[in-house]
Chain A
Amino acid sequence: MRIAYINFLIEGDNYRAGVLLTDETTKPVEFRITTNLNIDQLQEILYGESLKEVLYKERFTVQLLDSLQEDYDIVLVKEKSLLSIRKEIKKPVVHIQKYEYFMPLNRQSHKIINLQEKYEPLYITISSQDENRLVSISQQLNEIYKNFNIMEPFDRIEKAIKYLSEKGQ
């Protein structure tokens, strides 16, 4: 299973996003990032809470996914609002977060666990149109999670963006 991870980094006024495509051992296959997008304070005030949605959903994510040349099976995101990009792409979008005991397990959400308890339990949610694929996606992620921390590639994107910013790229 090839996973396209999406993550963002805000450093001061600069917003930047990256997509990291990994194989089933979480080894990198393709990586792309946006250039720095500078948002001034006035824009921040005026866009308010909708800023992240505009940036992440309308600007960065779809464009990043479109730019990938390698094929992928699912998109893994940490921002729940990104589930709605499903309409614009042909692949399932999976929101992933840390599992809390009160979280419901239903037709759109499952728990992912590492049997050796090496990594903490996770909770995935998919959009309604992929409901029938939830079991299969969850099984595949559970399989990967046996040996590899599926949350860790999000950190890699942040580190890589920081690295490039420090290099003046």
Chain B
Amino acid sequence: MIDISGNLVKDIEVNTVSLFNDSICGVSENLVKPIPTVKNIGKIFIKKDKDINKILNGDFKSVKLTKREYKNLSIFDLIKPVLMPSIDFDIPQDLTFPHRLFNYQIQGIKFLISNRSALLADQMGTGKTVMSTTALRILFMKGDVKKAIIIVPSNLISVWEEHLNLWAPEIQFVTIRDSKEGRKVLWNIDSHVYLISYDSLKNDYKHYKDYLGKFRITLDLVIIDEAHNIKNPSALKTKAVKFISRLSRYKWALSGTPLQNNLKELLSLYEFLFPDKQRKESISEEEARELIRPVMLRRLKKDVLKELPEKLPPEIEKFDLSPSQQLEYDSILGREIEKIEDIIDKYRDEKNFKFILKQNIIHSIQKLRQVCNFPSKGFDSPKMARLREIIIELIKNDEKVIVFTNFVKYGIERIVNNLSYYINPDYIVQYHGGMRPEEKIKAVKDFKEKKNKYVFIGTITSAGEGLTLTESSYAIFFDLHWNPAKIWQAEDRIHRIGQKNKINIYNFVMRNTVEERILQKLEEKRAMIQNVIDGIEKPVDEMVTVDDLMEFIGINLKSVPA
């Protein structure tokens, strides 16, 4: 008999195991979290979170009052560079740059961008600052760099400030140039670029190493200008530069001086550029040069001359008075203001009052300008140190240089005296009104014809129309004339007499002095001066009013009758 089995398909038993409770079967709540609706009530990124000036001026009792105004930044200011279109050298440049960039400069910018460690060693006057500012701007716009520091000699701070304002308008920078306590605050504020002098960095390395240690963690780019400042590896400022740049991805050194045959100097630069690379214990100078060569770009001015414009704008370098100069300046200023006020009281009703006043103010300004050059007891000063540095660099490059000053005793004599300690005195020729005509002719002839006459030092007033000094492509104005029109005319003359060479002009100016005020006036009156040159306006001597002169030394104009 055939049986049929029972149903072999067993019922499936469902055992419910609750996630929530062992005894009962439960259902979870809705696990789909709703995605919130976006509301337009976000943070205002243009709001400035803190007022840095307020912090510096009062909130911190220990912080010294500062005269400088710092820009308070919003988040929007900080992200602006990455929102800007990236820079493309193929598109019409006037859309992106304030002036046309020359081909060699574009090459220089591309060289910097493509080298994490780079030495831009183009000769002085070729625009290293423009190139590095633009390269920095491009990296910020690409978002490759978010924080950078530029370390420069203190007299070049104003040059860099101007370049950053003009060539990198989206980049926010703060100049760390304040009291010791003020700088401590500034290291902590938000910015794209931090601009500082070697000396301030050295001091902060000494006192606030821990601040710098925190600061450097997020640093992407370090630029050191006049890189020979770190030539001595045991100097504190060299250590400070290497400390702050240690973790930075980009390290650029700028120098107009060719690589020297000095092993220590080369190795110090190498250590800045490649802090992680091991080098041989014993190394020859030639080997050290070879190490740096692949990341070095050097072009000479004569090679790029054709590309340069007819008239290069003058570069203004600003310096602080030395302590002894400051003391003397303040004391003279006090005395002279008192004297001028006495004259105003005494002669204000006289017929020729304005004439007397003008002569006296000019005399006072002369005295102050002299101290700006040198202290009365000494022949060294910040201007002199910089002049010496430039001259030595140019002589190494086999270049001639013209130096103009308005003073013989506080200019030519002291400059020659000082330079003679550092360079062969035979390299120098002098030219001033106290010399006989035949001496003047010989000075010019020597400078033009003799190869070893590198430095021409003259007074601008005696350097008449007949003077042609086409051998040099560098002119330095050691001091400024009180009359802005005369400065402008002098620059123009330099351009004309040196037409062949396209001259770089450098103006030396002392900060917070009559010289700086003269310079401000120069800018204000530039348009008017142009008319004078074109013969439309009043004669040059009438360009500067008594009011202007009073302003130079800081006397209240209201006290003088019209």
Contacts and interface: CB of A to CB of B under 8 A. Distances in A.
B86 A152 contact: yes
B83 A28 contact: yes
A34 B143 contact: no
Chain B binding surface, main DSSP class:
loop
A25 B75 contact: no
Contacts of B75: 164, 167, 169
A51 to B, nearest CB: 8
B32 interface: yes
Contact of A152 (B39, B76, B78, B85): B85
Interface size class of A (residues with CB under 8 A): 35 or more
Interface string A141-162: 0000001110011001001101
A66 B38 CA distance: 11
A26 B91 CA distance: 13
Contacts of A54: 35
A54 B35 CA distance: 8
A84 interface: no
Interface stretch (B40-48, B408-416, B490-498): B40-48
A35 B79 contact: no
B33 interface: yes
Contacts of B31: 42, 46
A26 B87 CA distance: 11
Interface string A13-24: 000000010100
Interface centre among A34, A63, A163, A167 (most CB of B within 10 A): A163
A40 B91 contact: no
Given A28-B83, A160-B83, A59 B38 contact: yes
Nearest to B76: A31
A39 interface: yes
B434 interface: no
Contact of A163 (B36, B85, B143): B143
Interface in B68-107: 75-76, 78-80, 82-86, 88, 90-92, 95
Contacts of B83: 20, 28, 31, 156, 160
Interface-centre pick from B43, B82, B143 (highest chain A CB count, 10 A) = B82
A26 B85 contact: yes
Contacts of B143: 159, 162-163
Given A162-B143, A169-B43, A148 B79 contact: no
A158 B86 CA distance: 14
Given A25-B95, A163-B79, A163-B82, A63 B40 contact: yes
Contact of B84 (A27, A32, A60, A162): A27
B151 to A, nearest CB: 25
Interface of B: 31-33, 35-40, 42-43, 45, 75-76, 78-80, 82-86, 88, 90-92, 95, 143, 146
8 contacts: A25-B95, A34-B38, A37-B35, A59-B35, A66-B40, A67-B42, A164-B75, A169-B43
Interface of A: 20, 22, 25-28, 31-35, 37, 39-40, 42-43, 46-47, 54-55, 59-60, 63-64, 66-67, 116, 118, 147-149, 152-153, 156, 159-160, 162-164, 166-167, 169
